[in-house]
Amino acid sequence: MNPEQRTRIDREHIWHPYSAMRSPLPVFPVSSASGVRLRLNDGRELIDGMASWWCVIHGYGHPRLKAAMAAQIDTLPHVMFGGLTHDPAVRLTEQLLDIVPRGLDKVFFCDSGSVSVEVAMKLAIQYWHAQGQPQRTRFVALRGGYHGDTFGAMSVCDPVTGMHGLFDGILPRQTFIERPRPRFGDACTGADMQALQTALEKNHDIAALILEPVVQGAGGMWFYAADWLRRARRLCDEAGVLLIADEIATGFGRTGELFACAHAGISPDILCIGKALTGGYLSLAATLTTAAVSDAIDAGEPGVFMHGPTFMANPLACATASASIELLLGHDWRNDIARIQAGLERGLIPCREMAGVRDVRVLGAIGVVEMLEPVDMRAITHAFVERGVWVRPFGRLVYLMPPYVIGDDDLDTLTRAIVEVTKNVTN
């Protein structure tokens, strides 16, 4: 097929994320990728500021990850996990248990971040059923949160800004509280915790509090106080409610800690991970929990956890994830994140003075420019591509989450493009 034929088939038959078929947003055909660059079919190269939705932390085409995939695909690319096991899953489990927050020692592998949230919610519900409290089926969630696009996950996303308002009438009804007001680095007061305390005390059907630790991702890119998270853990303990930490976006170093829970020095009862787990090379996620949760489920009816994906613990994905973790821990990743944070802070400072900008915030390898009004996705995407960068804003948020291997010059190019485009938008 020639380029025009491929473009026509894509435009007429393929849905892209959150897009319309009749009036689709522009798409740019990619022919290859290497390091932090995407090469388009027309020969142009774009510096990737998104790490392909935050997961390609080592960049594209890394030889260590390619070698791990090649070795595994020649041995065992896939086998069902029901009644069988394999070394890649065992090895990855051992690696994860060494690095996740303390107390988490049971691992359930699944396909995607949304499914890991579904698994976490089912674990919480089944735990309470086994404890003789089957009425505990609801969740407390934060405004501004985002946890995925499947039905259970949608129900704990912000019902207004979480992109799922259309399904409001058929989703399970959850209890929402305002997002934490204190910013990252600030302390909290008792008043800041009152909404959560009230929700936990008044609702006796709550199974768990679910949240994104410290950083709310696609729901608003809000960085909140680690002290709030620390106090929330204490309130959950006092109320006898489980805590689910969704670290799908924040896990594996993005915020400056290996897992964002470490900023607060806490450990959840259930942890969701995904995205960067394989370095972005294959889809894989996991839900981890404590022996207390798994023991309760085993002792209850029906005596097993009721979930089992077809591609659970896919050997090829597990082997790639192991190589990605080794690659991350084998480098001075903290220095990389600190370097990127400094570059984002330095490069995005000019946006603070622009009339149409509400806020500029940076944490770890995340830089956010929040506009007063939603951006024109068509115009702004083209403007970035013309400057040789790939930046994918949403709503009022123009943000960067680059691969950790990005060099200072490429990072400067990304931030300079955001400053120039933002300036044009505000003018």
* Alpha-carbon span 145 to 139, nearest angstrom: 13
Q: Which of 48, 192, 246, 410 is catalytic?
A: 246
Pairwise CA distance, residues 144 & 61, whole Å: 34
**What are the start-end ranges of the H helices in 255-386?**
291-299, 315-329, 333-348, 377-386
Single-letter amino acid code for the residue at 114 = S
Considering the candidates 127, 146, 399, 404, report the single residue annotated as catalytic.
Answer: 146
**Active site includes 224?**
no
Q: Are 278 and 252 in contact (CB under 8 A)?
A: no
DSSP classification of residue 304: S
Q: Which two tokens stand for residue 268?
A: 């959840």
The two three-digit tokens of residue 176, written as one number: 């929402």
Report residue 199 as tokens.
């929700």
10, 18, 295, 412: the active-site residue: 18
Which amino acid is it at 277? Answer: L
> Which residues, listed in sequence order, are joined to residue 286 by a DSSP beta bridge?
109, 273
367 in Cβ contact with 389 (< 8 Å):
no
Q: What is the DSSP letter of 179?
A: P
Q: Which residue in 227, 275, 404, 410 is the catalytic one?
A: 275
DSSP 195-256: HHHHHHHH-TTEEEEEE-SSEE-TTT-EEB-HHHHHHHHHHHHHHT-EEEEE-TTTTTTTTS
253: left (phi over 0), alpha (psi -120 to 50) or beta: left
Among left, alpha and beta (phi > 0; psi -120 to 50; other), residue 361 is beta
* 214 neighbors 255 (Cβ within 8 angstroms): yes
Q: What is the DSSP-derived secondary structure letter of residue 77?
A: S
Q: Which two tokens stand for residue 313?
A: 């613990």
Active site residue 186: no
**Neighbouring C-beta atoms of residue 32, cutoff 10 Å:** 12
Q: Does the annotation count 410 as an active-site position?
A: no
Check if 146 is active-site: yes
Residues belonging to the active site: 18, 146, 246, 275
